[in-house]
Amino acid sequence: MFYNCADHPDQFVYKLMTATITPRPIAWVTTRSADGVVNAAPYSFFNMMGHEPPTVALGLLRDPDKGLKDTAENISATGEFVVNLVARGMAEAMNVTAINAPRGVSEVDLAGLETAPSTLIAPPRLAEAPVSFECRLLSAVMTGPKQMIAIGRVVAIHIADRFMLDAGRGHVDTPALDLIARMHGSGWYKAGGAMFQMDRPVYAPERDG
């Protein structure tokens, strides 16, 4: 089936993309407002974009009534945010923070989450998260009237000690993190699942003789 995106409403295109671009990692983003209120919200429009420098990107949508959502507004105002990754045991608490709470209400408090101080930036991280990335905003791009892409430089990484196989060599027990990912439709997520491994080929032209 062929779809010309210009011929369909945005929501229709959204359905096609979110039903096929799966599984999507989840960034559970903590920010702090200029007034000191800590916000937490999950985003599945997220991924690593590079490592020289270490870079992540977040796709942030606008609230139709309030304009920029708290996360986007706080990142724009302070230039700092934390990306916390979500383990299966934290899924229900994460879902609470997806609530459309009024501006100024802390989703961290609503979900009963504990925070821990970040090391290099002001917004706290989530204490129970297996992995947290402290980020500073590199660039914010308005890709349309309703959406913003925030590109952040990762300035520090926290990984719970129990998931380190060899801290000195940077070896992580990735399956043990038990991270969840966003799937298709409303409220569908993925945890675990089968893995397979393939060696990347190396081009080696044949030599004469």
Contact status, residue 189 vs residue 87, Cβ threshold 8 Å: no
Q: Are 27 and 56 in contact (CB under 8 A)?
A: yes
CATH code of the domain made up of 20-189 = 2.30.110.10
Closest CA to 129 of 180, 60, 188: 180
Contact in structure between 119 and 133 (CB atoms under 8 Å): no
Contact 182, 44 (CB under 8 A): yes
Which of residues 103 and 131 earns the better pLDDT score?
131
The tens digit of pLDDT for each residue in 8-52 reads 999 999 999 999 999 999 999 999 999 999 999 999 999 999 999
Q: What integer best gives the mean pLDDT of the chain?
A: 94
Give residue 108's identity as a one-letter amino acid code: V
Q: Which of 14-23, 163-172, 198-207 has the lowest mean pLDDT?
A: 198-207
Assess contact for 158 and 132: CB atoms under 8 A. yes
Q: What gap in Å lies between CA 130 and CA 121, rounded to an integer?
A: 19
Q: How many residues does the chain have?
A: 209
Instruction: Please give the model's pTM, rounded to 2 decimal places.
Output: 0.93
Average pLDDT over residues 133-149: 95
What pLDDT, in 10s, does the model give residues 71-119? Answer: 999 999 999 999 999 999 999 999 999 988 888 788 999 999 999 999 9
**How would DSSP label each residue in 31-98?**
EE-TT--EEEEEESSEEEEEETTEEEEEEEEEETTTEE-HHHHHHHHHSEEEEE--BGGGHHHHHHTT
**All structural domains of the chain with their residue ranges:** 20-189
Q: For residue 173, give the 3-state DSSP assignment.
A: coil
Instruction: Give how far Cα 53 sits from Cα of 49, 133, 136, Å.
Output: 9, 13, 12
Distance between CA 128 and CA 16 in Å, rounded? 34
